[in-house]
Amino acid sequence: MPEPLFSLRGVVKRFQGQEALNIARLDFAAGQITAVEGPNGAGKTTLLQILALLLAPDQGRLLYGGQELPHAGAQLTARRREITLVAQQAYLFDASVQRNVAYGLRLRGMRREERAQRAAAALAQVGLAGFGPRRARRLSGGEMQRVALARALALKPRVLLLDEPFANLDTESAAVFERVIAGLPAEGCTVILVSHAREQARRLAQRVVVLENGRLAA
**Closest of 156, 161, 131 to residue 146, by C-alpha:** 131
Nearer to other proteins, 12 or 103 (CB): 103
Using CA atoms, how far apart are residues 137 and 149, in angstroms rounded to an integer? 15
Judged by DSSP in three states, 29 sits in strand
CB of 72 to other proteins, least distance (A): 9
CB of 25 to other proteins, least distance (A): 26
CB of 163 to other proteins, least distance (A): 10
CB of 74 to other proteins, least distance (A): 8
Nearer to other proteins, 22 or 43 (CB): 43
Backbone angles phi, psi at 62, to 5 degrees: -120, 115
Q: Which residues bind other proteins (CB under 8 A)?
A: 52, 54, 77, 80-81, 84-85, 87, 90-91, 93-94, 103-104, 107-108, 151-152, 155
Farthest-apart Cα atoms in the chain, separation? 50
Nearer to other proteins, 22 or 119 (CB): 119
Backbone angles phi, psi at 170, to 5 degrees: -70, 165
Nearer to other proteins, 22 or 192 (CB): 192
Exposure of 150 in the CB half-sphere (CA atoms within 13 A): 35
